[in-house]
């Protein structure tokens, strides 16, 4: 996974190649890996939302819906954005698309922030 854009506070874009190491027995990307991909992007978005504050971000809950198989060999892009947030928490949404721009999955999560030194 590589972050390709974090220029806007509260929004990050990540990409990854769907490697066969992440496939399930039917030859598509395992849902748990897509969830981890979305979680990484959303967690990073929640940290950039804090702007100048240095925070730890902990996932309090997460929901993901899968819309189509993610094929091995495709390039997946996940865009995550804070929808609402304050000093202690951020509600974040993410969308994973394949290299043809088709939505593979959508996720939502709440992240709790704590100050770090």
pLDDT, one tens digit per residue, over 74-115 is 999 999 999 998 888 999 999 999 999 999 999 999 999 888
- 76: phi then psi, degrees, rounded to nearest 5: -100, 140
Nearest Cα neighbor of 31 from 83, 67, 74 is 67
What pLDDT is recorded for position 44? 94
pTM of this prediction exceeds 0.85:
yes
CA distance linking residue 29 with residue 1, whole number of Å: 14
Nearest Cα neighbor of 55 from 15, 93, 9, 5 is 9
Could you identify the residue written with the tokens 């954005």? 81
- Enumerate the domain spans of the chain: 2-115
Give the architecture (CATH level 2) of 2-115: Roll (3.10)
Confidence class for position 32, pLDDT limits 50, 70, 90:
very high
What pLDDT is recorded for position 117? 62
The whole-number average pLDDT for the span 10-30 is 93
What pLDDT is recorded for position 83? 97
In this predicted model, what pLDDT tens digit does every residue of 38-62 receive, in sequence order?
999 999 999 999 877 788 888 999 9
The whole-number average pLDDT for the span 10-29 is 93
């Amino acid at each position: 996974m590589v972050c390709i854009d974090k220029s806007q506070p509260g929004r990050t874009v990540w990409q990854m190649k769907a490697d066969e190491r992440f496939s399930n027995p039917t030859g598509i990307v395992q849902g748990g890996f897509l969830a981890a991909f979305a979680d990484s992007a959303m967690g990073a978005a929640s940290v950039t939302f804090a702007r100048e504050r240095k925070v730890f971000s902990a996932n309090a809950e997460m929901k993901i819906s899968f819309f189509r198989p993610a094929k091995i060999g495709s390039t997946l892009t996940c865009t995550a954005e804070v929808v609402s947030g304050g000093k202690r928490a951020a509600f974040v949404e993410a969308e994973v698309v394949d290299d043809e721009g088709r939505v593979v999955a959508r996720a939502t999560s709440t992240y709790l922030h704590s100050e770090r030194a």
